[in-house]
Amino acid sequence: MLEKFFGKFLKQDELPAEWRTPRYLQTRYDPSLVMALTHQHRTLNMLLVEASSAAQLGAYDETGSILEQFEFTLEDHLKQERDRLDPYLAEHIKGEDGEETLKDMRACAELARRGVENFLERYRDKPVDASNLAQFEHDIEAVSEKFSQDLEREEAMFYTLYLPPEAY
């Protein structure tokens, strides 16, 4: 009996596109997002330079503080990408190529994060001092170079895909 009553509401007709994902659940385009993320990239690179300079000046406590600041800034940056950029692109870039692009973007971000995390962990366990300064300088130079390349790639390949909804 209930099936008969509610049957008219249970039709399997295709719903209009705007009904499938409620508007309040859709991600919104923010024209300043890419600029903000790019600015964070510059800040992250600058923090690595500051940490290297502080270590060279023998300000080892300051070096540790800068590395902590770098870690917090990086986590915030990755969270913004994960919460704002990634869902928006996933919602708007469709098809097999889109899925592959998003996989590449996530893999690129993960590789960059892991490389930096290993470096940060090493100097969290054994903070920079005079005995490991030469190794630190070598490590931070290598990490900075790789990290810069990863960020440039991210900006050139993935940030350019973040467009207003009508552009898709």
pLDDT, residue 4, reads 55
Query: In this structure, are residues 89 and 162 in contact, taking their beta carbons and an 8 Å threshold?
Result: yes
The CA distance from 119 to 104, in Å, is 23
The Cα–Cα gap between 154 and 160 comes to: 9
**C-alpha closest to that of 113 among 142, 69, 79, 74:** 74
3 state SS of 165: helix
Per-residue pLDDT tens over the stretch 82-105? 999 999 999 888 888 888 888 988
State the pLDDT confidence band at 14, using cuts at 50, 70 and 90: low
List of domains in the chain: 31-161 (1.20.120)
Integer Cα distance of 132 and 113 in angstroms: 23
123 or 16, which is more confident?
123
